[in-house]
Structure formats: C-alpha cells, structure tokens
C-alpha cells in the first residue's frame, strides 16, 4: 500500500502517536518544536486530502481493511474536508505562536505536558471531523474534551479561576457527552448499526418514540458541546481564564467542530424526511439562534475583560450558524458552513492579538488597550482588521458570511431574519468599536502598572497572528476556496438528506 492510500488515517494517527513522545523531551523549546512540526505535517496531509476530495469526490477509508458497516469507516466529503482544513490550518499557526506565550503563562516544567495535551486535543478534533462512525464521534469528542479541560486548568498559574472554569467546563461537557451517547444508544437499539451512512438507510421510514428520543438526546448533547444558547455558560470562563494559546486554538476550532457534528447528524444521519428535524429547525434552532445572536452580543458590549468579550461574541456567532442551518435549505446550509470556517479564522486572529497584548502588559482588561496603536502597532492593526471582519466589513471573510446569511434568509422567504442579521451586526460594531476607540484615540496610561515603554510582541507571535489576519482578507476576496466549496458541500449534503 502507498502512503497516499493511507492519507485519510494520517490526521488521526500522527498526532496521537506523536503526543506521548512530547513527554520525552526536556521542558522548554524542544516539545514546542516537536509539536509545531507535527502540526505542519498534519496541515500538509489535510491540504492533500481536501485537494483530492475536491477533484475526485468522496473518500472512504476502511480501518483494518474491514468494510462498513462492520468495520470503522473514515469518510471524507467536501463538508468535513472544509472543517479538516480549518482545524489543521489553525493548529499550524497556533502551535508556532504558542512558544513565547506559554513560556510566560505556564510553568516551564509543564511544557511537555502542555504540548502533548495540545496534540491530543488536535487528534480528537480531527477524528471527530473525519470519522464516518457515530460512536467514534463520541470517542473523539471525549478525547478532545478531556485534553481541553486540562489545558484550560493550566491557566491557573496566572489566575486561579482557571481551575473553576475547567471544572465547570468538565461538568457541562460530561453532561453533553452523556446525552449524546444515550442518543446513540437509542439509535443503535432501533437500527443495529453505528455507521452514519448505514444509520441513514435504516432510519428511513422509522418514526417511533425511540428514534425521536435519540434525536432529542443527540441534539441537546451536541448543543452543550457547541455552546448553543442557553447552554453556553461554560464557554466564557473557559476562554477567558485558559492560557492565551489555548483560548486561540479552541475558540477557532472546538465549537466549529461541534457545529459540524450537528450538521452531519441532521443531514446525513436523520435526513430531511425525518419529521422531527423540521420541528427542531422551526422551534429550537431558529429561536435559540436568534436569541443567542442578540443576547450574547449585548452581554459582550458590557464586558471589561477583552477575552470574555470575545467569548460572548463566539456564542453570538454560533447563533448565526444555527440560524443558517434552521432554514433547512441548501443556501442556509452553505451560509452556515461558510461562517463556520470564516469565524474560525477571525476569532483565532482576535484571540492571538489579545495574547500579544497580555504577553506585554499582563492584563486582559479594556484599560490595557488604551493607546495601544502607539505602543504595539502591528498587534493593533491585527485586532482592527480581524474585528472589522467580525463585524462584516466588505473585503473580509465576515462580509462573505453575512452576505450568504442574508441571501439564504431571502431564499427561505424569511427577510426578517436577514434584517436581524444586519441589526445584530451593529452590536458587534459597538463592542469591537469600543476596543478600537481605546487603542487608536486614547493616550497610553501615564502612571500605574500599565504605563511605561512597551515593545511589540516577538516575531514568533506576530508572524503566525498575521498569517490568520491575512487569511481573513485573502478569503474575503478569493471566495472560491471557502464559499465555493461550501456551496458544493451544502448541495451534496442536501442531496444525501433527501432535499435535492
């Protein structure tokens, strides 16, 4: 067998095998260099997979040579290829970015464990995305979640509240995982299979209480994992008190992977013929998406901690994705997939900018951003461009997301939803504009711990951050690589779901 034939297994096998080796390195630069190298290898493998799927169609890889539904299948289409590209791409910039930040925020003796946990988290997220087996989704979700809890807790060296945040994250994540696996158990009892494609075939015509209960458990379980309003309470503290590199990584990837899982189960497993799906669209996803868009944005406006502000912004942006899915149309699904990728790019860049500020000033609060344009111009402009992308200014990926959502609203004959998208974007103008005003128009503090000469963050942090900022602009103009693939992915998902 050639290496190319084994390509679908590499994104899971390589970081999983590499993670224990991280512990063999002496604390310091070596484990970081090893983890960064692995992240680049994974990104190259995922890029090759995306190119192959775009040109040749769906890839089906049978682990151990056992064909599904008996064996475990890794099945890659355009939908999860997009998510693979996002997760591996973010990892490829966050891992190199992490060295100076982690050195400042974490006990150096813990660095091998930190980078090992980051690789385990990457393994879980990629595994969730790539697998075609429903129970494997649960297994990989827990691999990613358990490592995330440990990573968040490592922020306790700077702020002891990280321990409470990690514990709350653990409790809520465990409840979500329990609901999810109960739902899978009910589906298995009704169908006798766990392969997603086979589940879809066997669920056709089944409309009984067991399947309906399984659907409800799965939706609530994944809703907790993706921080669906009002099940988002674990997210703000987890993002705010985690080490800066961890915040950047999980904010850009973790909830996006959970949104992908929700889409996969709705459209690939249950399909549009399942009556409860339309009820969930109209009475769950639509209202919680809209409420989340506004509630979380309003809360973000009043935050004094920039990382908490960005965390609540993430809850609002998840609302946009759920709104797109709730239309139950190809256009809505494409809008959700586009925003899933685009939000990962913009939020990763914003959290990396916040990490640079914290590295130099040791503070996340808004007052640390006063006069920042004169002290850290590269970081300031990175925050401004990424913030404008979050708002949806033309020339950025955020504009593409909003455009797709508004188009989907019109196509679904819900013009009012498009109006709400625009209205909620004005709230983003308020909380992003507030920080930009502090950075650009306010003078730097003249006394106190934040006063004095402040240098720009190291190049090892600036270059990866600007790579994500550049992606925010590049994919805002060259939309064929994101929006174009999302359109094709949505069409394929709708066709398999019985909508085309």
pLDDT reported for residue 456: 85
Q: What is the pLDDT of residues 17-72, one digit of tens each?
A: 999 999 998 888 899 999 999 999 999 999 999 998 988 888 888 887 787 778 88
pLDDT reported for residue 373: 86
Identify the CA nearest to 455 among candidates 36, 33, 100.
Answer: 100
Handedness of CA 217, 223, 225, 229 (dihedral sign): negative
Q: Is 251 within 8 Å of 310 (Cβ atoms)?
A: yes
Token pair 């703000």: residue: 236
Structural domain total, the chain:
1
Residues 68 and 223: their CA atoms lie apart, in Å, by 28
Rounded to the nearest angstrom, the gap between the alpha carbon of residue 60 and the centroid of all alpha carbons in its chain is 24
Token pair 């799927």: residue: 53
DSSP class of 340:
H
- CB neighbour class for 416 (10 Å; exposed up to 12, middle 13-18, buried from 19): exposed
Residues 136 and 143: their CA atoms lie apart, in Å, by 10
Residues 87, 334, 349: CA angle, nearest 5 degrees: 35
Rounded to the nearest angstrom, the gap between the alpha carbon of residue 316 and the centroid of all alpha carbons in its chain is 13
Neighbours of 498 (CB within 10 A): 14
Q: Which residues contact 489 (CB under 8 A, 6 or more apart)?
A: 77, 78, 79, 81, 82, 334, 337
Neighbours of 392 (CB within 10 A): 24
Which has more confidence, 405 or 58?
405
Taking residues 247-264, report their average pLDDT: 94
Phi, psi of 51 (to 5 degrees): -60, -40
Measured between alpha carbons, how far is residue 156 from residues 113, 164, 243, 308 in Å? 15, 9, 8, 16
Q: Mean of the per-residue pLDDT values for the chain?
A: 90
Question: Which residue segment(s) compose the domain that 444 sits in?
Answer: 283-500
- Indicate whether 142 belongs to any domain: no
- Indicate whether 493 belongs to any domain: yes
Q: Is 462 within 8 Å of 93 (Cβ atoms)?
A: no
- Indicate whether 156 belongs to any domain: no
Identify the CA nearest to 256 among candidates 353, 133, 143, 345.
Answer: 345
* Model confidence band, residue 498 (pLDDT cutoffs 50, 70, 90): low
| Torsion angle in degrees (nearest 10) through CA of 118, 356, 160, 146 | -20
- Indicate whether 317 belongs to any domain: yes
Structure tokens at 6: 């084994």
- Indicate whether 119 belongs to any domain: no
DSSP class of 154:
G
- Indicate whether 490 belongs to any domain: yes
Q: Is 444 within 8 Å of 455 (Cβ atoms)?
A: no
- Indicate whether 412 belongs to any domain: yes
Q: Is 398 within 8 Å of 392 (Cβ atoms)?
A: yes
- Indicate whether 27 belongs to any domain: no
Identify the CA nearest to 337 among candidates 126, 90, 78, 89.
Answer: 78
Q: What is the pLDDT of residues 278-291, one digit of tens each?
A: 888 889 899 999 99
Measured between alpha carbons, how far is residue 250 from residues 122, 202, 238, 244, 483 in Å? 10, 35, 10, 10, 23
Q: What is the pLDDT of residues 144-179, one digit of tens each?
A: 999 999 999 998 888 888 999 999 999 999 999 999
* Model confidence band, residue 109 (pLDDT cutoffs 50, 70, 90): confident
pLDDT reported for residue 65: 78
């Amino acid at each position: 067998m050639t290496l190319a034939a084994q390509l679908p297994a590499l994104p899971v096998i390589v970081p999983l095998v590499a993670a224990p080796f991280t512990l063999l390195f002496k604390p310091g630069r070596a484990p970081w260099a090893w983890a960064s190298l692995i992240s680049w290898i994974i990104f190259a493998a995922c890029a090759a997979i995306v190119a192959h799927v775009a040109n040749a169609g769906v890839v089906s890889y049978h682990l151990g040579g056992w064909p599904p539904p008996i064996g475990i299948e890794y099945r890659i289409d355009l939908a999860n290829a997009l998510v693979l590209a996002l997760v591996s791409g973010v990892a490829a910039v966050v891992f190199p970015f992490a060295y100076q930040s982690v050195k400042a925020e974490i006990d150096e003796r813990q660095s091998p464990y930190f980078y090992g946990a980051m690789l385990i988290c990457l393994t879980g997220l990629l595994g969730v995305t790539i697998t075609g087996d429903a129970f494997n989704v649960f297994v990989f979700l827990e691999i990613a979640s358990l490592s995330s809890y440990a990573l968040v807790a490592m922020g306790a060296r700077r702020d002891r509240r990280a321990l409470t945040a990690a514990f709350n994250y653990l409790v809520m994540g465990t409840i979500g995982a329990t609901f999810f696996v109960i739902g899978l158990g009910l589906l298995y009892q009704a169908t006798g299979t766990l392969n997603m494609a086979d589940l879809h075939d066997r669920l056709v015509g089944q409309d009984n209480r067991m399947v309906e209960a399984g659907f409800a458990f799965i939706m609530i379980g994944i809703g907790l994992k993706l921080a669906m309003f009002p099940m988002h309470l674990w997210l703000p503290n987890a993002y705010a008190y985690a080490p800066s590199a961890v915040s950047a990584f999980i904010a850009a990837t973790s909830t996006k992977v959970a949104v992908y899982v929700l889409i996969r189960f709705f459209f690939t497993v249950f399909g549009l013929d399942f009556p409860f799906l339309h009820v969930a669209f109209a009475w769950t996803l639509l209202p919680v998406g809209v409420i989340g868009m506004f509630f979380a944005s309003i809360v973000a406006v009043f935050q004094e901690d920039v990382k908490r502000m960005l965390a609540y912004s993430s809850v609002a942006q998840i609302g946009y994705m759920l709104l797109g899915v709730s239309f139950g149309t190809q256009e809505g699904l494409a809008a959700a997939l586009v925003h899933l990728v685009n939000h990962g790019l913009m939020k990763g860049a914003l959290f990396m900018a916040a990490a640079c500020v914290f590295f130099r000033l040791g503070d996340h609060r808004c007052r640390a951003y006063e006069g920042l344009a004169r002290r850290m111009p590269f970081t300031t402009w990175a925050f401004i461009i990424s913030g404008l992308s979050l708002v949806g200014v033309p020339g950025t990926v955020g504009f593409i997301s909003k455009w797709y959502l508004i188009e989907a609203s019109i196509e679904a004959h819900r013009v009012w939803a498009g109006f709400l998208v625009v209205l909620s974007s004005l709230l983003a103008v308020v909380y992003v504009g507030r920080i930009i005003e502090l950075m650009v128009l306010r003078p730097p503090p003249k006394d106190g711990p934040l006063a004095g000469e402040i240098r720009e963050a190291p190049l090892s942090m600036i270059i990866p951050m600007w790579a994500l900022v550049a992606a925010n602009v590049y994919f805002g103009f060259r939309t064929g690589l994101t929006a174009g693939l999302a359109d094709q992915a949505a069409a394929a998902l709708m066709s398999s779901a019985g909508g085309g």
